[in-house]
Amino acid sequence: MARPISEEKRKAILAAAEKLVAETGTGVSTARIAKAAGVAEGTVFVYFETKAALMAALLSELEQQLAAAFKVDAMPGDGGREDIRHAWERMIAFGATHSAKWRAIKRLKASEFLTDAGRQQMDALFGDVHTALAKALRNHAHKGVTVDYAALVLNALAEVTFECIAAEPSRERHYTELGFELFWNGIAAGKTDQAEVSMRPA
């Protein structure tokens, strides 16, 4: 007889995997994940056929949470500075509040567990964010700045901002605003003729 599926156990396994991937990377064993989740190792494979399936499910769950955090429907819609400020502030709020989730996403995306299907899912999840960033670049960026390049710069500044906020939580607002100004003033310098669009979010 098949074991009954418990959503509570599934969530516990994903939560344990998230914590351990954030702390130690994707090389963490399923035995450690099972122990942290309070289940037998075999139980992990009741819910996830392989470790790869577990990692893919974790990345999918975290990316959905991050995509929802951007609240694209609430963007001002100016096609420029304020739309990008909105995306930046939502990203910083997510990373500052959920540092383990951010680290886990970063490690999973750099691992062999990021599949073509996972990339396609991210394309779909972050399509509206890509569109807003591309529009802002077309309207305001240095000529030749691509969405790829701008997103890499945005991510790098976000990492620095997270570190500063972690060191000085009382100055979260200061670092959030400073990071955005550094990005915008560095990227925006008049209208471009064309911005190339070929990016999955950072």
Over the stretch 103-147, which tens digit does the pLDDT of each residue have?
999 999 999 998 888 888 888 888 888 888 888 888 888 888 888
Quick one: which of 179, 185, 134 has its CA closest to 156?
179
Q: CB of 9 within 8 A of CB of 47? A: yes
The separation between the first and the last C-alpha atoms of the chain, rounded to the nearest angstrom, is: 44
Mean pLDDT on 178-196: 71
Confidence of residue 47 (pLDDT cuts 50, 70, 90): very high
Task: Spell out the CATH class of 63-187.
Answer: mainly alpha
Q: CB of 51 within 8 A of CB of 30? A: yes
Select the highest-mean-pLDDT range: 33-37, 66-70, 110-114.
33-37
Compute CA distances 102 → 40, 50, 120, whole Å. 27, 23, 20
Q: CB of 153 within 8 A of CB of 180? A: no
Residues in the chain: 202
- How many other C-beta atoms can be found within 10 angstroms of the C-beta atom of residue 190? 9
Location of each CATH 1.10.10.60 domain in the chain: 7-49
- 3-state DSSP helix/strand/coil percent for the chain, to nearest 5? 75, 0, 25
Location of each CATH 1.10.357.10 domain in the chain: 63-187
Report the topology of domain 7-49: Arc Repressor Mutant, subunit A (1.10.10)
Question: Which one is predicted more confidently, 199 or 115?
Answer: 115
pLDDT for the residue numbered 202? 44
The Cα–Cα gap between 170 and 168 comes to 5
The answer, yes or no, to whether residue 38 has pLDDT greater than 90, is yes
